Structure 1
């Protein structure tokens, strides 16, 4: 059997999400780094930017972005779907997927780069093989330069660390009784959270030490997610698959309230900025969201994290993930939609359904493009 090729890196957030999925599904793959000449000579020209992860299928098809990669295999049929059938479980899985990008990336980047000196040797060793023509130090310095755009500043340091310790405690309480978010099978929410909780927070020496000492069950979940099997001997007779009856464990109530506190008011402020941007620029449907493929933001916005003023980059990709929540909700029958809305009301997440995003963001040819305006007739 010919393997697919996964271009990625051990310390890459999104590669970790993709790799875990391929392992769980038993998909035969070989991982290569971005230093491989085929990545530079074949993959980058095909997708227009140097970004990972990228999967090259056996027929030569190139797929970039974890959502597109996972959805490709989901459409083909896999042993363990990442999408729960239950309405509430599925919407919450998409919310966790959004939070991993729009919220938890801040914590991951903080612990990696604020503590760069304390874990310098580990990071230099990680970045050296994939730095290409630049030195590992140059690549690391570029990564550190993104911190202010993520709201990582000396003023927010304490709040970020308190927030992360709270998250660990909430996850620890959940994994005391359940191997995955929604039972005995990982969802897109699990895979999403794994990205930052493995590649940065579960491997880099400083945050990994914190996770092991404060939340050992969370660390076991990280190991479990990277295993090719269910890997849950701590839960005797725990049933395989998602919990039946669209059950959501009570331990998730506090966890998703925490996510709401992290996502808002930042997402509200970003919607307002996007609305102004769309009014000023009137993007053409199908056009790239940024002038250059490697650019990930369309501007910045003044907002707040845990009550502290920050300047945060507005990333169209976050709106793409947000749409997965609203699209899943829009497809529900009325009774299911009412139950989901009530649950979100109780955890402070209902603004995800109430806020009007002015334009869709789509994915075409491995980049984000503008979709239809919400204020225009189709």
Structure 2
């Protein structure tokens, strides 16, 4: 039963990357909710039988609808109409925001997990308290061990760690310069790109002691943005008179260009190599429309890609979920006129990001009955 005082129930925990995205959105929009930890018996008894797996965040609406995944939660409210839509009207801003979203909640998973678990000894007390408060003391050790074990499949190795840390520091530098002049990525309100970034930048990198210390000392404007993204409404007193809209005429601020250069350098060739793994998987198994992407609902990785990150050879897991995010950029272009579509593609190519759009591959990924499935044209 939902809480009529708070309206919506958000099942999640403070240290969860994807819960942080949904929470940030709810707070920005002023949507009443109460957050419920996964140790609550209600989660196992009522929510998991519907979602078919132990996964967060899950939102339960006042009328009992259950929505799983931060992106689906955002899109649920976007369809209803909210105070500060996360999707810019301009096609270039919108496509770039989706690419930033992908970078934040997918390409930054190695950064988030490295700083959490490679520095476990320095953060043990903080992490143990966080996991115990979310899942109970008995489950904390088991969950922490499982999370720690994910590092190799994320490409976090002794060889790649220096590149990951250099990447984090470079990201802080470019974002710090941008947030000195703008409250959010594309203007006066958070975009879907801001929400993609806030997942790792709050739950792991802005909260765990080691990376949070680096952020506060190296990039105070970034830390202030993290505060802004987790506060109610638009917390922008340091930008008086800035306004609450996205920048007009689909313009991209000069201060954001280094971020796109950074992203283009880091997501390739890993993204193209992951897409190649998915292409080969589809060619081999020829799944039907609606067929689950993995044999079991809790499985999100379907293979390994041999690739590189910042020139370092890595082996990393492949999640079809990446297509669930990036296909939205293709949909933006599909809704444009021919001239506008060509202009956006030209702008993406100039930034080295045109290949971030998967394009027509004869398949995509959808979510049906809370499970990722292959989507095939009829």
Paired position in structure 2 for 1:207: 211
Deviation at 1:365, TM superposition (A): 1.2
**Per-residue displacement from partner, 1:301-326 (whole Å, max 9, x unpaired)?**
11111111111101010111111111
Correspondence for 1:194 among 192, 195, 198: 198
1:182 corresponds to 2:186: yes
Q: TM-score, normalised by structure 1?
A: 0.96
Selected match of 1:254 from 228, 240, 258: 258
Counterpart residue number, 1:156: 160
Residues 40-119 of structure 1 mapped to structure 2, 5 A cutoff: 40-119=44-123
Range that drifts further, 15-24 or 235-244: 235-244
| Rounded Cα–Cα distance in structure 1 between residues aligned with 2:100 and 2:361 | 19
**Helix, strand or coil for the counterpart of 1:179?**
coil
3-state SS of 1:55 partner: strand
Is the 8 Å Cα contact of residues 327 and 357 (structure 2) preserved in structure 1?
Answer: no
User: Per-residue CA shift, 1:112-169, capped at 9, x if unaligned?
Assistant: 0110111000000000123358532221110011001110000001000001100000
Tell me how far 1:67 sits from its aligned partner. Answer: 1.0
Q: Which moved more, 1:233-242 or 1:174-183?
A: 233-242
CA distance in 2, matches of 1:190, 1:204: 20
Tell me, yes or no, if structure 1 residue 324 matches structure 2 residue 328.
yes
| Structure-2 separation of matches of 1:190 and 1:268 | 24
Q: 1:42-66 CA distances to partner (integer Å, 9 max, x unpaired)?
A: 0001110010000011111110001
Secondary structure class of the residue paired with 1:312? strand
Q: Give deviations 1:3-55, integer Å, cap 9, x for gaps.
A: 11000000000111101111111111010100000000000011100100000
Say whether 1:28 aligns with 2:39.
no
Q: Which residue in the other structure is 1:232 paired with? A: 236
- Maintained 8 Å contact 2:326/2:357: no
Change (3 A) 1:358 1:275: farther
Is the counterpart of residue 371 in structure 1 residue 364 in structure 2?
A: no
Cα 1:303/1:358, change in 2 over 3 Å: farther
Which residue does 1:12 correspond to in 2? 16
- Mapped to 1, the partners of 2:365 and 2:193 lie a distance apart of 20
Counterpart in the other structure of 1:120: 124
Q: Is the 8 A contact 2:326 2:358 kept in 1?
A: no
Instruction: State the alpha-carbon separation in 2 of the partners of residues 56 and 77 from structure 1.
Output: 18
Q: What root-mean-square deviation, in Å, do the aligned CA atoms of Structure 1 and Structure 2 show?
A: 1.3
Alignment length (residue pairs): 374
Which of 282, 287, 296 is residue 286 of structure 2 equivalent to? 282
Question: For structure 1, which segment, 243-252 or 325-334, has the greater mean C-alpha deviation from structure 2 after superposition?
Answer: 325-334
Q: 1:192 & 1:136 partners in 2: Cα distance?
A: 26
Q: Retained in 2: the 8 A contact 1:17–1:66?
A: yes
Contact 2:330 2:358 (8 Å CA) reproduced? no
State whether residues 167 and 258 of structure 1, in contact with CA within 8 Å, keep that contact through their aligned partners in structure 2: yes
8 Å contact 1:18–1:53 — kept in the other structure? yes
* Matches for 1:129-148 after TM superposition, within 5 Å: 129-131=133-135, 134-148=138-152
Distance in structure 2 (CA, Å) of the matches to 1:198 and 1:354: 28
Query: When the two structures are superposed, what TM-score results if normalisation uses the length of structure 2?
Result: 0.96
More displaced 10-residue stretch of structure 1: 248-257 or 346-355: 346-355
How far off is 1:358 after superposition?
4.5
Kindly state the Cα deviation for residue 229 of structure 1 after the two structures are TM-superposed. 2.2
How far does the alpha carbon of each residue in 1:338-364 deviate from its partner, in whole angstroms, 9 at most, with x for none?
221122111110112476544210111
